Amino acid sequence: MPTGRKKSVQKQSKKDSKDQEIDISVNFLVPYQRVMTDNEVEELLDKYKIEKSSLPYIYIGDPSISKLNAKEGDVIEITRKDYVGEYKYYRVVVGKILENVE
């Protein structure tokens, strides 16, 4: 391949990679995630006798939930599977990173 041609191909491929957005949700290591409905959240909180503020947080800018169109205050259900079974985890979407204040 001529040297000039190789450089232009490299420049083009770098430009293309900047324009492409990577969808990490299709990676097999990323667990299934969805936004729960209000009724499902109520049932969850009643089942465990907790308040929404007791759930762990997930930042609204987290790349793993970017495709979910989640809003601040939504609850995300995360389903992880392994060879033993299926496990569900829950996170409340927050708009900023919270610091522990003592």
Alpha-carbon dihedral angle through residues 85, 90, 95, 96, given to the nearest 10 degrees:
-80
- pLDDT at res. 30: 81
User: What CATH number has the domain bearing residue 49?
Assistant: 3.90.940.20
Q: What is the pLDDT of residue 37?
A: 97
Residue 45 lies in a domain: yes
R_g (Cα) of the chain, nearest Å: 20
pLDDT digits (tens, 9 = 90+) for 48-87: 999 999 999 999 988 888 889 999 999 999 999 989 999 9
Section 30-43 average pLDDT:
95
Q: How many domains does the chain have?
A: 1
Higher pLDDT, 40 or 96: 40
Q: What is the pLDDT of residue 57?
A: 94
Under a CB-based contact definition with an 8 Å cutoff, are residues 57 and 98 in contact? Answer: yes
- More reliable by pLDDT, 59 or 99: 59
Distance CA 77, CA 45 (A): 13
Whether residue 9 is contained in a domain is answered as no
Boundaries of domain holding 67: 27-94
Report yes or no on 80 lying in a domain: yes
